[in-house]
Chain A
Amino acid sequence: MKPSSLNVLVIDENRIRASIIEEGLRESGYDKVTIVEDMFGLARRIADINPDVIVIDLENPNRDMLESFFQLSRAVRRPIAMFVDKSDEASIEAAVDAGVSAYIVDGLKQERVRPILKMAISRFNAFSRLTRELEETRGELENRKLIDRAKGMLMRTRGISEAEAYALLRRTAMNQNRKIVEIAQSLITAASLLDPGGDA
């Protein structure tokens, strides 16, 4: 069998991550890739798709359902987890660390599945890196908004320029050995407490 003749099923609640994996698999020549997001009627779908390999994210609450389906199924011959290969502890750990689990159908050589699992692991890792970066950027954006607000308050109440307001925040932060955003946050909190309307 060429790689492309393997039927790969990806079960992932996260649509973006699922398509990142799909893309990777297609690039490596696996063109029979199906993605399932919700588990409604999963048993029937699996019988229809008849996959050789199933890749599922570790966080999916339906993993227990999937395993029981393997146990019960007469349509799919009893698949076994990739993990069954005890000699390869490193790849088990890598998979669990990345948050992915792969199952292969009994009879299929594990060597043929390993590249698929490897691909999934690297894509899962890439995705979580992306997510982390996005969160950091989002955090930075929030911080900038807080600092802008604090600057505005200083400019209004003390009649100083934007540069002076920023310098004041930075100086205070340095003196107190804290972050500028923390000073900005406490200024905003203090102002909201002092404001009789309390709407800040």
Chain B
Amino acid sequence: MTKSHEITAGFVPLLDSALLVVAKEKGFAESQDINLTLARERSWASIRDRLAVGHFEVAHILAPMPIACNLGLTAPAQEMVVPMALGLGGNAVTVSQALWQMMVACGAKDDLDARTNGAALRQVIVGKGPKLRFGVVHPYSGHNYELRYWLSASGIDPDHDIEILVLPPPDMGDALRAGLIDGYCAGEPWNTFGVLERDAHLATVKASIWRSSPEKVLGVNRKWSESNPEALSALLRALYLASLWCGDRSNHDELVELLSRSTYINRPTDWLRPALSGVLHIGEGVTAEIKDFFVPNAKAATFPWRSHALWFYTQMVRWGHIEHTRDHQQIAGSTYRPDLYREALKSLNVALPSANSKVEGALRSETPVGSTGALTLGPDGFFDGSLFDPDQVDAYIASQKRG
């Protein structure tokens, strides 16, 4: 009889906390001998601090945050590892009705296409209205970096042409309606909330800016991971099984009900269903079906690609968050731990990618890849057609304009 592992996981009430919630509620943690406790938090800063002091062994966390921690950009600077991702995609850029109307006048369309709608936004900004303000959830977030990437590739300087500020996701819709901000990039259900309850409109989605891109990951206190390798492996298996369950459409009604409970996201089921079905409310009663809006399991969605970590690092350099050095690049890349993922999932006999890194944007269509089983990746393109080769970090950084 094995001793059961006690694990406390912090989470922020968002749709992509689903894997942790399902691991607990559907018995996947229990089946791996884990007594999993979930603790809801209201800010990413609290998640980070409680991981650092050992209140939590693991947490649902923004993909770039553990990298920022290990680079000493945040305090307390406790080392973290990322042995698993918690899904791909899931964010959107939502704008106020007034801004959307201006964008439409400049050619924006209801198809959420990042290129068309980015060009329309640029036209609005060139038209010299008052300086627009956009909200993101944290400086070291996928939201901040993908919004900046989209703006920049659309010819908008995110530091000079607009203003970006940080707001808690539940406050975004209200701030938008009050005119404090003109748009925001957030996770679900906060875009759906903006459209359904605050008269907002979706401009584009994460999947259109960078298809199959990483969002939340499992952040793990490094000290704990080193002294409890078995517990960590067991947890990764439980989360992988949970991701399979979440990826199965026939479970979505139950998943929506689970997540809507007061202990978890505590919001109406109608706000949660769109992100799972991929049929989003985009504004004025119109819906659109989006491919790969939120991917919990398919396309190796839980694999912690080193190339994802390195891409975030290039953006940290690009926007002046950190200086580019060999050491920094090394720290960023090694924060993600595909080795721990492989080790843990070996016994499940699931398909694993054969590499730890890939050229991001190279797969234009669904592609079967060499691995220990059947695994299909991509498409994973950036909307502007550019590639990120993790072996060419210097060149990539040099090629990127700030504005």
Residues of A within 8 A of B (CB): 43, 58-69, 71, 80-81, 83-84, 86, 89, 92-93, 96-97, 101
Contact residues of B between 176 and 197, Cβ < 8 Å to A: none
3 closest cross-chain pairs (CB), A and B = A68-B166, A81-B75, A83-B76
Instruction: Please determine whether A63 and B75 come into contact, CB atoms closer than 8 angstroms.
Output: no
Instruction: Please determine whether B168 and A101 come into contact, CB atoms closer than 8 angstroms.
Output: no
Cβ contacts A to B, 20 pairs, < 8 Å: A43-B165, A60-B43, A61-B168, A63-B45, A63-B46, A64-B43, A64-B45, A64-B168, A65-B166, A67-B139, A68-B139, A68-B165, A83-B49, A83-B52, A83-B75, A84-B75, A92-B52, A96-B49, A96-B55, A101-B45
The chain A residue sitting closest to B321, CB to CB, is A71
Instruction: Please determine whether B166 and A96 come into contact, CB atoms closer than 8 angstroms.
Output: no
The chain B residue sitting closest to A68, CB to CB, is B166
Contact residues of B between 61 and 87, Cβ < 8 Å to A: 74-77
9 additional contacts (CB under 8 A) given A61-B168, A67-B45, A83-B76: A59-B42, A61-B43, A62-B168, A64-B45, A65-B166, A67-B139, A68-B165, A86-B76, A97-B53
Count of A-B contacts judged by CB separation below 8 Å: 66
Give chain A residues whose Cβ lies under 8 Å from the Cβ of B77: 84, 86
For the side of the interface on B, what is the size category? 20 to 34
Residue B311 at the A interface, CB < 8 A? no
Interface string of B340-359 (1 = CB under 8 A from A): 00000000000000000000
Residues of B within 8 A of A (CB): 42-46, 49-50, 52-55, 74-77, 137-139, 165-168, 170-171
Complex-state Cα separation, A69 to B171, whole angstroms: 17
- The secondary structure that dominates the B interface is loop
Complex-state Cα separation, A172 to B170, whole angstroms: 50
- Pick from A43, A61, A101: contact of B170, CB below 8 A: A61
The chain B residue sitting closest to A96, CB to CB, is B53
Give chain A residues whose Cβ lies under 8 Å from the Cβ of B171: 61
Instruction: Please determine whether A67 and B165 come into contact, CB atoms closer than 8 angstroms.
Output: no
- The secondary structure that dominates the A interface is helix
CB distance from B4 to the nearest CB of A (A): 25
Instruction: Please determine whether B49 and A101 come into contact, CB atoms closer than 8 angstroms.
Output: yes
Give chain B residues whose Cβ lies under 8 Å from the Cβ of A71: 139
Complex-state Cα separation, A67 to B137, whole angstroms: 11
Complex-state Cα separation, A66 to B46, whole angstroms: 12
Instruction: Please determine whether A64 and B166 come into contact, CB atoms closer than 8 angstroms.
Output: yes
Instruction: Please determine whether A81 and B76 come into contact, CB atoms closer than 8 angstroms.
Output: yes
Give chain B residues whose Cβ lies under 8 Å from the Cβ of A63: 43, 45-46
If A93-B53, A96-B49 touch, whether A65 touches B75 (CB-CB below 8 Å) is no
Complex-state Cα separation, A198 to B52, whole angstroms: 53
The chain B residue sitting closest to A99, CB to CB, is B46
The chain B residue sitting closest to A59, CB to CB, is B42
Complex-state Cα separation, A64 to B127, whole angstroms: 32
Give chain B residues whose Cβ lies under 8 Å from the Cβ of A80: 75
Best-buried of A59, A64, A93 by chain B (most CB within 10 Å) = A64
Complex-state Cα separation, A81 to B78, whole angstroms: 13
The chain A residue sitting closest to B170, CB to CB, is A61
Instruction: Please determine whether B42 and A61 come into contact, CB atoms closer than 8 angstroms.
Output: yes
Instruction: Please determine whether A92 and B166 come into contact, CB atoms closer than 8 angstroms.
Output: no
Give chain B residues whose Cβ lies under 8 Å from the Cβ of A68: 138-139, 165-166
Complex-state Cα separation, A66 to B43, whole angstroms: 11
Give chain A residues whose Cβ lies under 8 Å from the Cβ of B49: 58, 83, 96, 101
Give chain A residues whose Cβ lies under 8 Å from the Cβ of B43: 60-64
Give chain A residues whose Cβ lies under 8 Å from the Cβ of B76: 81, 83-84, 86, 92
CB distance from A64 to the nearest CB of B (A): 5
Give chain B residues whose Cβ lies under 8 Å from the Cβ of A93: 53-54
Give chain B residues whose Cβ lies under 8 Å from the Cβ of A66: 45
Complex-state Cα separation, A130 to B30, whole angstroms: 37
CB distance from B322 to the nearest CB of A (A): 12
Give chain A residues whose Cβ lies under 8 Å from the Cβ of B46: 58-59, 63
CB distance from B48 to the nearest CB of A (A): 10
Best-buried of A43, A80, A81 by chain B (most CB within 10 Å) = A81
Instruction: Please determine whether A64 and B137 come into contact, CB atoms closer than 8 angstroms.
Output: yes
Give chain B residues whose Cβ lies under 8 Å from the Cβ of A65: 165-168
CB distance from B316 to the nearest CB of A (A): 12
Complex-state Cα separation, A81 to B75, whole angstroms: 6
Complex-state Cα separation, A65 to B77, whole angstroms: 19
Instruction: Please determine whether B45 and A92 come into contact, CB atoms closer than 8 angstroms.
Output: no
Complex-state Cα separation, A83 to B168, whole angstroms: 22
CB distance from A47 to the nearest CB of B (A): 14
CB distance from B199 to the nearest CB of A (A): 21
